[in-house]
Amino acid sequence: MGEEIERKFLITGDGWRETAEGTQYRQGFLSTEPERTVRVRVAGPRGSITVKGKSVGARRAEFEYEIPVADAERMLDTLCRRPLIEKVRHTLTVGAHTWEIDVFEGDNAGLVVAEIELGSEDEAFDKPNWIGDEVTDDPRYFNSNLVANPYRTW
Give me the count of residues in the chain.
Answer: 154
Torsion (CA) 74, 75, 81, 84 in degrees, nearest 10? -60
pLDDT of residue 58: 84
Please give the average per-residue pLDDT across 24-35, as a whole number.
Answer: 95
Do 94 and 116 contact (CB within 8 A), yes or no? Answer: no
Question: How many whole angstroms separate alpha carbon 58 and alpha carbon 50?
Answer: 17
Question: How many whole angstroms separate alpha carbon 70 and alpha carbon 7?
Answer: 31
Range 3-153 has CATH code 2.40.320.10: yes
0.85 exceeded by pTM: yes
Task: Name the nearest CA neighbour of 108 among 55, 145, 76.
Answer: 145
Residue-wise pLDDT for 81-109, tens only, equals 999 999 999 999 999 999 999 999 999 99
Please give the average per-residue pLDDT across 47-75, as a whole number.
Answer: 95
pLDDT of residue 93: 93
pLDDT of residue 59: 85
Question: How many whole angstroms separate alpha carbon 61 and alpha carbon 38?
Answer: 12
Question: How many whole angstroms separate alpha carbon 98 and alpha carbon 89?
Answer: 12
pLDDT band (50, 70, 90) for residue 1: low
pLDDT of residue 57: 81
